[in-house]
Amino acid sequence: MLIWSENAGLFWPPSRLAGLKAYIFLRTKPGTSEEVLRHLTKLQKLEGVTQVDSIYGRFDAIVTIEASDIERLGDLVYKVVERVPNVTHTETAIVLTRHGE
């Protein structure tokens, strides 16, 4: 059995709808990554935002989030992280299996 999630636009098995973890990769406008990181660090006080890091490579930052269900995960991505000023692009990777926890 699969359950449709309107926010994510995906079908999910019921066993995968609880305790979700995801990584959000962010690109920022040139010269604004430090400002974006300061803003994102303030988001760590929100329930669900567990880690904020600057990174090298294709993206400028990564935000780790945890949510009780796919709808809350969607809220964190669309209503919180993507509204940070100077963020030009995001990609979200949802964890399928946790190893070593």
pLDDT digits (tens, 9 = 90+) for 11-25: 544 444 458 999 999
CATH architecture of the domain with residue range 18-94: 2-Layer Sandwich (3.30)
Average pLDDT value over all residues in the chain: 82
The residue with tokens 């990564």 is 62
pLDDT digits (tens, 9 = 90+) for 34-81: 999 999 888 887 778 899 999 999 999 999 999 988 888 888 888 778
Beta bridge mates, 90: 26
Neighbours of 2 (CB within 10 A): 10
Confidence of residue 10 (pLDDT cuts 50, 70, 90): low
User: Distance (Å, rounded) from C-alpha 86 to C-alpha 28?
Assistant: 5
Whether 23 contacts 93, CB under 8 Å: yes
The model's pTM: 0.76
Domain ranges for the chain: 18-94
Model pLDDT, residue 9: 53
